Chain A
Amino acid sequence: MGALKIGDKIFNSRLILGTGKYPNFEVMRESFEVSGTEMVTVAIRRVDLNDTTGQSLLDYIDREKYALLPNTAGCYTAKDAVLTCELAREALGTEIVKLEVIGDEKTLFPDNEATLEAARILIKKGFTVLPYIIDDPIICKKLEDMGCAAVMPLAAPIGSGLGIRNPYNIAIIIENSNIPVIVDAGVGTASDAALAMELGCDGILMNTAVAGAQNPVMMANAMRQGVEAGRLAYEAGRIPMKLYASASSPMTGIIHSSVS
């Protein structure tokens, strides 16, 4: 089925998972195992100086198996996003980042202007930038042209589970893109993942859809299969959609009963 190439990294899995919102880290770890994912997102936050447990997310993520994709979730300005990426690079030793600059607390839609500004700065600083962005073909092209390693248009608001709200825009973005298109945010269930892949997406990123499912491990399995099925169907080349019927059985040699 081919591999997903982002920057200089090759991934056999086209499914990227988030680490947030799981009932506990054990369920998270098992979900990753079952999903076949090879890259997981992490957030960057202040160390809790009063936390004496010593437990850390990274204790549950085997970095030999999973690449870390730090995000800039919670950043509302380009300046904060850039600083977060620099801190992430220093803490984790990784150059790849999921850039999020949020414009509105309710929708968590990206601030497009600030995202473009931050992406420009981060690319100059040598980061491999994967921007979370609105499903607008024009802005996706701008992000590609400035040197982003992929574009990540949202399917629907983060955590909404609405699925692909505008498959036509996603299809246009894919048609015009020379870099990977990874649908990110808003996925709800396996058919959403399959649809994204059938449209021709190179990958899909989700968090809540798996972590928030009643059975996250089972949903991780479903998503794995949905992504694989969707990608296979895309590569198989589907039949066109038609308004009227096109018979599947021959029109000759049909039996006619005699009328008495």
Chain B
Amino acid sequence: MTVTVNGVIHNLNREMSLTDLLQELSLPPEGIALAVNATVIPRKNHPQTILNDGDVIEIIRAVAGG
């Protein structure tokens, strides 16, 4: 199964939830937000949101900017 995370294609060899994905990427859940196929998924829903083949995931955080 392949998903796109921040514009980069990833191959997943097992079923994954968003929580699993963040752990796989070594990203703490605080201060970031995720959208799957342009829909924001609140943190409380990460464990039960299972990724599907072709999903496009955006993981963002606050950075410096005016």
Query: Could you tell me the distance between the alpha carbons of A205 and B59 in the complex, rounded to whole angstroms?
Result: 28
Docked-complex contact A47 and B61, CB < 8 angstroms: yes
Docked-complex contact B65 and A58, CB < 8 angstroms: no
Q: Which of A17-25, A113-121, A225-233 contacts B (4 or more CB under 8 A)?
A: A17-25
Q: Which of A4-12, A36-44, A138-146, A214-222 contacts B (4 or more CB under 8 A)?
A: A36-44
Expressed in whole angstroms, the minimum distance between the Cβ of A13 and any Cβ of chain B is 17
Which residues 37-82 of A sit at the B interface, judged by CB distance below 8 A?
Answer: 41-47, 49, 56-58, 68, 70-71, 73
Across the interface, B65 reaches (CB within 8 A) one of A25, A42, A90, namely A42
Docked-complex contact B65 and A91, CB < 8 angstroms: no
Q: Across the interface, which residues of B come within 8 angstroms of A211, CB to CB? A: 66
Q: Across the interface, which residues of A come within 8 angstroms of B33, CB to CB? A: 87-91
Decide if A128 is an interface residue (CB 8 Å cutoff): no
Q: Across the interface, which residues of A come within 8 angstroms of B59, CB to CB? A: 46-47, 49
Total count of chain B residues near the partner, CB < 8 A: 24
Q: Which of B11-19, B36-44, B47-55 contacts A (4 or more CB under 8 A)?
A: B36-44
Query: Could you tell me the distance between the alpha carbons of A136 and B63 in the complex, rounded to whole angstroms?
Result: 30
Docked-complex contact A43 and B42, CB < 8 angstroms: no
Q: Tell me the nearest residue of chain A to B40, going by C-beta.
A: A86
Which residues 1-15 of B sit at the A interface, judged by CB distance below 8 A?
Answer: 5-8
Query: Could you tell me the distance between the alpha carbons of A47 and B58 in the complex, rounded to whole angstroms?
Result: 9
Query: Could you tell me the distance between the alpha carbons of A49 and B35 in the complex, rounded to whole angstroms?
Result: 16
Docked-complex contact A73 and B65, CB < 8 angstroms: yes
Expressed in whole angstroms, the minimum distance between the Cβ of A89 and any Cβ of chain B is 8
Expressed in whole angstroms, the minimum distance between the Cβ of B43 and any Cβ of chain A is 7
Across the interface, A87 reaches (CB within 8 A) one of B7, B60, B65, namely B60
Docked-complex contact B35 and A43, CB < 8 angstroms: no
Report A's interface with B, CB cutoff 8 A: 18-22, 25, 28, 41-47, 49, 56-58, 68, 70-71, 73, 83-84, 86-92, 158-159, 205-208, 211
5 tightest Cβ-Cβ pairs between the two chains A and B = A43-B65, A207-B66, A18-B66, A90-B33, A91-B33
